[in-house]
């Protein structure tokens, strides 16, 4: 009954947190998960294989790395040892496993995305009713691999394999399992901001024949390697462009996305389009520019402005550019 209670508490937590209004993947996110695993033990431990049910909670240090704490209870494990004069194994063994692991995720946080991962950490296991050792305690060094599929920004399913090497007995065991969980509270999506900007009045012309003056605002937003998330320090530059467009409603712009030369042409083309769309979303959703006035285009790695053979040059090429011009009477 103990494992069922643990599993039920985790499922209840998943359902309760589904009502939260701020949900996002990325740095600062928290993931909770319920899992079931099949545990395969070494034969010299004299216990049968069994099932492990439990839950975990993880915290994302950045978009890719999380720390995960888990606890599970074993079911269906029995001793292979026999009592004197008996041909039957001992009664079911009670036990539990607690782990602390770091996970590195590949790919970009997004809805409907597949994110493979690798993991490493430590675990502590206790089996309470073994025949030879009685209370059997083991500390494990652990590595693992698997994948998570995010159905949306919030809900995911996971499958993976873990290898556990005992630091006490030198046994090596492994587990294979699946899980479901929720991801919430991250910062991959920018928080809504309230912007109050009143356009400056345009000076009245003195005479109708006065020449026109061209005014221009340019935008250059830099991105981290293999990322399409707008950094916080770029928001003020994007706001300047949005204020200009709101002041001159006859203007429009095309947001151009670019990448460095690392990766395939096809991947970089898609990455440049995601970067352009990310800046467009900030202009439209955060600062109120009419969506019909903002177009996007991705050029991949085709238009470098610096040397892709150096780190500094590649950092300059990972960018989104835009410009807006307006003609006013002097």
Structure tokens at 165: 């090497």
**Cβ pair 43, 49 in contact under 8 A:** no
Provide the 3-class DSSP secondary structure of residue 272. helix
Q: Which residues of 42-77 are buried (b: 16+ CB within 10 A; e: fewer)?
A: eeebbbbebbbbbbbbbebeebbebebebebbbbeb
pLDDT of residue 39: 86
Q: 289 and 154 share a domain?
A: no
Q: Is the pLDDT of residue 241 over 70?
A: yes
pLDDT of residue 206: 55
Q: Is residue 77 part of a domain?
A: yes
Terminal Cα distance for the chain, rounded: 82
Q: 37 and 139 share a domain?
A: yes
More confident residue, 94 or 156: 156
Q: Phi and psi at residue 107, in whole multiples of 5°?
A: 90, 180
Task: Say which range, 10-24, 38-52, 220-234, 241-255, has the weakest mean pLDDT.
Answer: 10-24
pLDDT of residue 168: 83
Q: Is the pLDDT of residue 57 over 70?
A: yes
- Other CB atoms within a 10 A radius of the CB of residue 284 amount to 16
Mean pLDDT of the chain: 82
The pLDDT confidence band at residue 43, using thresholds 50, 70 and 90, is low
pLDDT of residue 75: 83
Alpha-carbon dihedral angle through residues 270, 275, 278, 280, given to the nearest 10 degrees: -100
**Cβ pair 288, 239 in contact under 8 A:** no
Q: Where are the beta strands (DSSP E) in the chain?
A: 30-40, 50-60, 65-75, 95-105, 113-130, 134-150, 155-166, 172-184, 212-222, 253-257, 294-298, 319-329
The pLDDT confidence band at residue 28, using thresholds 50, 70 and 90, is confident
Q: Which of 166, 184, 202 is the last residue in one of the domains?
A: 184
Q: 178 and 220 share a domain?
A: no
Q: Is the pLDDT of residue 314 over 70?
A: yes
**Cβ pair 42, 91 in contact under 8 A:** no
Q: Is residue 191 part of a domain?
A: no
pLDDT of residue 81: 59
CA nearest to 231, candidates 221, 241, 240: 221
More confident residue, 4 or 58: 58
Q: Is residue 203 part of a domain?
A: no
Q: 180 and 240 share a domain?
A: no
Q: Is residue 193 part of a domain?
A: no
Q: Is the pLDDT of residue 260 over 70?
A: yes
Provide the 3-class DSSP secondary structure of residue 191. coil
More confident residue, 80 or 126: 126
The CATH number that applies at residue 219 is: 3.30.1330.60
Task: Say which range, 84-88, 174-178, 256-260, 283-287, has the weakest mean pLDDT.
Answer: 84-88
Q: 108 and 235 share a domain?
A: no
Q: 157 and 292 share a domain?
A: no
Distance CA 44, CA 155 (A): 40
Q: 144 and 39 share a domain?
A: yes
pLDDT of residue 187: 57
Q: Is residue 304 part of a domain?
A: yes
Look up the domain containing 177 and give its range. Answer: 2-184
CA nearest to 164, candidates 125, 118, 116: 125
The pLDDT confidence band at residue 23, using thresholds 50, 70 and 90, is very low
The pLDDT confidence band at residue 273, using thresholds 50, 70 and 90, is very high
Q: 42 and 94 share a domain?
A: yes
Task: Say which range, 109-118, 226-235, 273-282, 290-299, has the weakest mean pLDDT.
Answer: 109-118
pLDDT of residue 207: 53
Indicate the burial class of 29 (C-beta count within 10 angstroms; 0-12, 13-18, 19 or more): buried
Q: Is the pLDDT of residue 46 over 60?
A: yes
Q: 142 and 263 share a domain?
A: no
Tens digits of per-residue pLDDT, 106-126?
988 778 889 999 999 999 988
pLDDT of residue 284: 94
Distance CA 6, CA 11 (A): 9
pLDDT of residue 232: 92
Q: Is the pLDDT of residue 31 over 80?
A: yes
Distance CA 203, CA 212 (A): 12
Q: Is residue 130 part of a domain?
A: yes
Instruction: Return the residue matching tokens 């994302």.
Output: 60
Structure tokens at 74: 């074993």
Distance CA 245, CA 183 (A): 36
- Other CB atoms within a 10 A radius of the CB of residue 311 amount to 9
**Cβ pair 125, 92 in contact under 8 A:** no
Count of the separate structural domains present in the chain: 2
User: Please, which residues have CB within 8 angstroms of residue 215's CB and are 6 or more apart in sequence?
Assistant: 325, 326, 327, 328
Q: How far is CA 211 from the centre of its chain?
A: 53
């Amino acid at each position: 009954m103990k494992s069922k209670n643990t599993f039920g508490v985790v499922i209840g937590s998943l359902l309760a947190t589904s009502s939260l209004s701020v949900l996002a993947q990325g740095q600062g996110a928290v993931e909770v998960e319920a899992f079931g695993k099949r545990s395969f033990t070494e034969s010299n431990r004299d216990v049968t294989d069994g099932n492990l049910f439990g839950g975990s909670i993880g915290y994302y240090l950045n978009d890719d790395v999380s720390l995960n704490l888990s606890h599970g209870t074993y079911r269906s494990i029995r001793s292979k040892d026999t009592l004197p004069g008996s041909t039957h194994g001992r009664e079911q063994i009670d036990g539990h496993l607690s782990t602390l692991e770091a996970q590195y995720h590949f790919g970009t946080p997004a809805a409907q995305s597949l994110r493979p991962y690798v993991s490493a950490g430590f675990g502590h296991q206790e089996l309470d009713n073994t025949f030879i050792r009685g209370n059997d305690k083991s500390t494990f060094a652990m590595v693992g691999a698997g994948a998570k599929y995010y159905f949306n920004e919030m809900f995911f399913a996971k499958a993976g394999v873990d290898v556990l090497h005992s630091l006490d007995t030198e046994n090596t065991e492994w587990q294979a399992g699946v899980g479901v969980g929720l991801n919430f509270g991250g910062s991959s999506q920018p928080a809504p901001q309230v912007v109050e900007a009143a356009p400056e009045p345009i000076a009245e012309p003195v005479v109708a024949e006065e020449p026109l003056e061209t005014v221009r605002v340019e935008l250059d937003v830099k991105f981290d390697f293999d990322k399409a998330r707008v950094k916080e320090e770029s928001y003020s530059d994007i706001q300047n462009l949005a204020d200009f467009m709101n002041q001159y409603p006859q203007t429009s712009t095309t947001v151009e996305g670019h990448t460095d030369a690392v990766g395939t042409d096809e991947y970089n083309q898609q990455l440049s389009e995601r970067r352009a769309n990310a800046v467009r979303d900030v202009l439209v959703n955060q600062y109120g520019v009419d969506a019909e006035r903002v177009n996007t285009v991705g050029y991949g790695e085709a238009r470098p402005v610096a040397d892709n053979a150096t780190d500094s040059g590649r950092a300059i090429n990972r960018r989104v550019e835009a410009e807006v011009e307006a003609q006013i009477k002097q």
